[in-house]
Chains A and B, each alone.
Chain A
């Protein structure tokens, strides 16, 4: 058998910026196209403009998000199709990636596959002299403090995992947008989160382009890949999903 067939060729979509609904819609449109064999397994990086709060599939919008505050601060709200927790995606504060590929390329065990994909982030951060480790279920920590959260779904034989790497975290802003289980404890909780979370600027890394390049290497080194772009079909599907699903109150307020 020809070895070429065995080595998957990846499509790399360079860093791009969209609103929350389109960012989530592009992930799903890509997974859909890949399931139909129309595109290659894909790695992408993206930012959120306007900044946005994303909530996990199983979370209650009203329990997790201060909707009025988001409107006041012009922060988008979107529900992901993956589980996990609420995330504040600050335009300047983090970078998001997605890996969309056939399930069979990864460990069958879901937590093991988190670990497998997290290695890309670990390698990327290592290039910045930041030493991260994977902590099950879905986090990466540096010196015990969380720097990255990740979430995946598997549908129609396709694994889609996305996650954020914190570049410059603003915990106060984050908690101005998110609700906590016990509002009376909010002050204490913010203090505790400040102790438990870190970002790359705390480790002397502040240049966004440098971070992006390092992560790009972390994800792509050792892989066969081509820089690519979205197909017309993916873009059309994503526009529809952004309007009718991810940007629609029926989905956002579903739970």
Chain B
């Protein structure tokens, strides 16, 4: 059975986080997962557009869902914010048929598309776990990362609110840890793994935003992590690109989950564009 998805890149993976898109493509290619990039899909809104005009945000997202349905594919998200926003919109429309009809009417009038309500929307991590399968992933590992202790950072939208989450136990998840184990690394439990990185307020209150990221990284470090694994490029941005402004002594590499898997599959750091990270891979990671 070959897996094929409509890849919703999200805006950051095309801009400040291009290494995420690159590593996703390389890793999926290696694993035999076919991706069709949704070059005509628009920004999910990040929960920000909906604070301007909730219905516009829903129409734009319904259009994205419709585009995937028209291509006959389910959606793969590589940004947890996009995933959370998409699921929230999807659930909102499913629960309120009258509203969905209004959204579809507007969508049809302006673009001719219509959202049928059938598409499935999954994050990369979920696809690894459930569609691809961890056993298969383990088989594909050529370089078990057994020297690496990795702290998983879930990102708020992966877990909350519970009704939009794919996790079996949103208040105490282990999905990321299971992936980390599957590639041979040791998952590290630390108190801040379910917390917020603060990215949404980086423009509004930089101090608070970076304190949140700093707390998360310190917590991971104190528990013995060599690196923090993210599934959202916004978490990655805040914790990597801003890390020198938080505390230059932290020196904690922040790694996209695709990159972690890529390393275990034998793909080089260069190919995974880890050289674009602000925080250089140090210690155990550098050796890989």
A and B part of one assembly = no
Contact surface of B with A, Cβ cutoff 8 Å = none
